Amino acid sequence: MAGLFDTFTVAKRGLNVQQGAINTTSHNIANANTIGFSRQRAVATTTRPFGGMSRFDTCTVGQVGTGAEISSIERIRDSFIDFQVRHENGKLGNYGVQDKFLYRVENIFGEPSDSGIQQLLGEFFDSFQELSKKPHDSSTKTIALQKASALADALNNTYTQLDKQLSDAQELLQVNVKDVNNYLDQINELNKQIASVSAVGQTPNDLMDARDNLLDQLSSKFGITIDRKEKESIDLKLEGYQNGKNPVNNLVNSNPTDDKYTRFSYVKNAEVEKDAAGKYTVKLQYHPLGNLNAKEETITIECADEEEAKKIAESLTQNRVLMGDKDGIVGKPVPPATTVTMSSDDINKKILQTHKLDVDVNTVDNKHIKGDIAGNQGVQDTIKGYMADLDRIAVGLAYAVNAIQTGSQTPTDKYELIFTNGADVTGLTGVAKNEKLEEKISAKNITVNKDVLKDVSLLNTSSKDEAGEGNGDRALAIANLRNVKMNLTNSKDINNRSDFFANTKVNFDDGINMISSSEGSTINAYYKEIINTLGVNAETASRNVTSQAKILQDLEMQRLSVSGVSLDEEMTNLIQFQHAYSANAKVISTVDELLDVVINGLKR
């Protein structure tokens, strides 16, 4: 009775299909709270039907179905939503870094505050206003110098803290390098396993979930491009670096035997050097794969001139990330040499720069500015901008005050300076001493002359030639600096007092009073503009993070609606599969009864 046995086989297959569906449902329920898990679905298809071959077959009018089987366990995933999530995740990473550091910078300036630079500027000018009324009073002079010292200390401290944030951003790039290389190695290994499982006709759903989860995490570091290949493997590329004359190797290759892939290394240091022949080079030291415990590698970069060398060194210390081979090695010695030497053009192609538009073939454009790495690279420009602003204030204050104190647009040996750079002038006297003390004054090094602090009578307050005596006009002129406009934006290249007068366009013809330039702003107004700009930038960064987080959350919810596990839906499916399983079992029971009738009934 082949017909009944065929029915028995069909029912048995039905049991297997429903059992597989129940197993898949159970797997979904078990992973309902697993991060990155995509719900799965058992895909049932009909098995090959049986057709009658002669009139004696049980079926003569057509083909008879032979049941069903599970052809695959498919993963419910929308690759376009994945692309959107990773795109927005990268943008959030960049915004998040900016927001974090701008928040810190705001706290460093601490405005408005009773101890902030703005308050200290006011107290400094007020103290010299008071001194102009009592030009001979040593206690009033002491107070004025104390206020000057407090202001200089505040500039020093603020600059130092900003410099620390700059270093923190650079050090975070080392953490990013290690994280990225770790993600890439895991993705590479999963890629191999997925290809191996797919090659034998199976679908490695859980492995692909693990890979997608790592891709999500990687997308928070920088922009990535994914090319899907056969056997569910992928080629992973660095977004924006695949065009031009020197495309970068893939980060992960779909071909498991292809070991030409990119890994990243961390720049420890880059110093400009000049040899006896006047040739400029940059000595680059880096840690392969970002491993600080690994042996340092060194590259000598040949440069055309000092300007190019400084530019290369600055780029290396800001960006900090190099693109190397699978071991993180950048360049190899050319025999018979045992050390690595590269040109400036070649090293530029190895620097990972993701934070701004540039003309180099291996930098990316603005639409690819994504991730923590771009954030940590780019925020350094922002911090440097505020440090430069502090330098402009220090330069404007120091050179203007010293000019009034000495009555000259250039250093003289007639009077002691008020503000100096704190340099060691042992063995120097007169003009040479004062030139050295004023050279390249900045917010980092500005200080009050220790000789004047020891002997306040050296403070020149008078319009007469005798230090410490007279009518207080010079003290009043210093106090009036609060109203003098200076073109401080042109103070980038100011290294001495002569540069100050040439660049800021202030008038000092009478040797006492400064006349405002036709453009620019007062020191107070310039500082207020810094704080206002900082506040706007910090607020914008915070708003960007909030907005971007909402966009990303909406996309993740959209992805969850497609790929996430709904317990209500799974319970409904479970009931459906349970009923189908029971129905197939009933068919088997019925066939068993029929076989009993046929076989045992014939005996009677």
Distance between terminal CA atoms of the chain? 18
pLDDT number for residue 414: 79
Please answer whether residues 229 and 219 qualify as being in contact, where contact means their C-beta atoms are separated by less than 8 angstroms.
Answer: no
Q: What per-residue confidence (pLDDT) applies to 319?
A: 92
Tally the C-alpha atoms within 13 A of residue 320's C-alpha that lie toward its C-beta. 24
pLDDT of residue 494: 86
Q: What is the pLDDT of residue 365?
A: 43
Percent share of the chain, pLDDT over 70 = 92
Q: Which of 297, 296, 307, 298 is nearest to 274 (CA)?
A: 307
Pairing of β 419-420 and β 40-46: unpaired
When mean pLDDT is compared over 48-57, 156-165, 325-334, 457-466, the highest value belongs to 156-165
Higher pLDDT, 393 or 7: 393
| Structure tokens belonging to residue 310 | 């400084």
pLDDT of residue 5: 82
Q: Are 414 and 430 in contact (CB under 8 A)?
A: no
Cα 547 off chain centre by: 18
Helices assigned H by DSSP within 220-279: none
Provide the 3-class DSSP secondary structure of residue 37: coil
CA-closest candidate to residue 175, choices 315, 297, 291, 317: 291
Structure letter (DSSP) for residue 232: G
Give the whole-angstrom CA distance, residue 582 versus residue 324: 61
Distance between CA 145 and CA 155 in Å, rounded? 15
Find the DSSP H helices in 204-327.
205-219, 306-319
Cα distance between residue 576 and residue 565, in whole Å: 17
User: What pTM, to 2 d.p., does this model score?
Assistant: 0.88
Q: What is the mean pLDDT of residues 211-220?
A: 97
What number is the average pLDDT over the span 283-310? 94
**Cis peptide upstream of residue 336 (ω within 30 degrees of 0):** yes
Q: What does the radius of gyration of the chain's CA atoms come to, in whole angstroms?
A: 38
Tokens of 94: 């960049």
Enter the tokens of residue 403: 């000019």
Band (pLDDT 50/70/90 cuts) for residue 360 is very low
3-state DSSP of 528-558 = HHHHHHHHHHHHHHHHHHHHHHHHHHHHHHH
Report residue 598's pLDDT band, with 50, 70 and 90 as the boundaries: confident
User: Which pLDDT band holds residue 52 (cuts at 50, 70, 90)?
Assistant: low
DSSP state of 301: E
CA dist 285 and 308 (Å) reads 18
285-290: long-range contacts (C-beta < 8 A, 24 or more apart)?
286/322, 286/330, 287/174, 288/324, 288/327, 288/328, 288/329, 289/177, 289/178, 289/181, 289/263, 289/264, 289/265, 289/327, 289/328, 290/174, 290/175, 290/177, 290/178, 290/181, 290/264, 290/265, 290/266, 290/328
Instruction: Provide the greatest CA pair distance for the chain.
Output: 144
Amino acid at 475: A
Q: Compare 5 and 88 and report the one with higher pLDDT.
A: 88
Cα 548 from chain centre: 16
Q: Is 33:592 a contact under the CB 8 Å cutoff? A: no
Which amino acid type is present at position 491? Answer: S
% of the chain residues with pLDDT over 90: 73
**Mean pLDDT, residues 499-507 taken together:** 88
Amino acid symbol at 97 = V
Cα–Cα dist 541/530, whole Å: 16
Beta strands in 60-216 (DSSP E): 63-64, 68-75
Contact 218, 238 (CB under 8 A): no
Q: What share of the chain is helix, strand, coil (3-state, %, to 5)?
A: 55, 10, 30
SS3 256: coil
Q: Which two tokens stand for residue 556?
A: 């993740």
Confidence label for 297 from pLDDT (cuts 50, 70 and 90): very high
What does pLDDT average to over the chain? 90
Q: What is the 3-state secondary structure (H, E, C) of 89-108?
A: HHHHHHHHHHHHHHHHHHHH
pLDDT higher than 50, residue 364:
no
Residue 350 identity:
K
What's the pLDDT at 163? Answer: 97
Kindly tell me if the per-residue pLDDT of 125 is higher than 80. yes
Q: Which amino acid is at 282?
A: V
Cα angle 272, 277, 280; round to 5: 20
Task: Detail the DSSP E strand segments found in 439-487.
Answer: 447-448
Please give the pLDDT value at position 339: 85
pLDDT tens digits along 422-477: 999 888 888 999 999 999 999 999 999 999 999 999 998 887 655 445 689 999 99
Reply yes or no on whether the pLDDT at 2 is more than 60: no
> Model confidence at 228, in pLDDT bands (50, 70, 90)?
very high
Contact 98, 379 (CB under 8 A): yes
Q: Mean of the pLDDT values across residues 42-48?
A: 93
Q: Which amino acid is at 302?
A: E
pLDDT at residue 391 in the model:
96
Nearest Cα to Cα of residue 382 among 516, 533, 587: 533
The C-alpha angle 375, 158, 160, rounded to 5 degrees, equals 75
Length of the chain: 604
